[in-house]
Amino acid sequence: MSMSFERYMLDMIQPMRDELTNLGIKELRTPEEVEANLPDAKGTALVVINSVCGCAAGQCRPGVAQALQNEKLPDHLFTVFAGQDKEATAKAREYFAPYPPSSPSIALMKDGELVHFIERHQIENRSAVEIAADLTEAFNKYC
């Protein structure tokens, strides 16, 4: 792969990262960052598995943004980028058992335990509004 192609890909992907980080969601880019943040996160933690696919752009990220308008919110907001930060994503997915890897997906954890999970197939077939409603229901229950 040429350096210019890699630069092009980084330039293309940065806005997809920014869409979440601009909401105050912390990017975990290495397995070490995942380990330092997820297992010991006290209270609730939202983890968005971001991706380049159309359903991430059309439904997942906008749904997360809408859900973050809710009164009750998770204590911690994290994201990993599938296909880009592969090792960090693999490490984060260790906490989402028994769910198989899927991206995009959205996890809600409470005191290090998975309490709610939205898989890719639950994102592809629903609108951003429906995903936001699913998340706000989970926020109201667990946060």
Question: Residue-wise pLDDT tens for the chain (143 aa)?
Answer: 455 666 667 788 999 999 999 999 999 999 999 999 998 889 999 999 999 988 888 999 999 999 999 999 999 999 999 989 999 999 999 999 999 999 999 999 999 999 999 999 999 999 999 999 999 999 999 99
pLDDT at 5: 60
Residues annotated as catalytic are 53, 55
- Which of 29-68 are b and which e, b meaning 16 or more Cβ less than 10 Å from the residue's Cβ? bebebbeebbeebeebbbbbbbbbbebbbebbbbbbbbbb
This prediction has a pTM of: 0.93
pLDDT at 32: 98
pLDDT at 60: 97
Asked if 46 contacts 107 with a C-beta cutoff of 8 angstroms, the reply is yes
Question: What pLDDT, on a 0 to 100 scale, did the predictor assign at position 122?
Answer: 96
pLDDT of residue 49: 97
- At 35, is the secondary structure helix, strand, or coil? helix
Using DSSP's 3-state secondary structure scheme, residue 7 falls into helix
Phi, psi of 112 (to 5 degrees): 85, 0
Within a 13 Å sphere around the CA of 103, how many CA atoms are in the beta-carbon half? Answer: 19
Q: How many domains does the chain have?
A: 1
Q: What is the largest CA-CA distance in the chain?
A: 48
Please report the pLDDT score of residue 3 as a whole number: 58
Q: Which domain holds residue 22?
A: 3-142
CA neighbor of 59 nearest in space, from 137, 2, 125, 8: 125
Whether 78 contacts 25, CB under 8 Å: yes
pLDDT value at position 1?
A: 47
Closest of 62, 107, 73 to residue 89, by C-alpha: 107
Residue bearing tokens 């960052």: 33
CATH number of the domain where residue 127 is located? 3.40.30.10
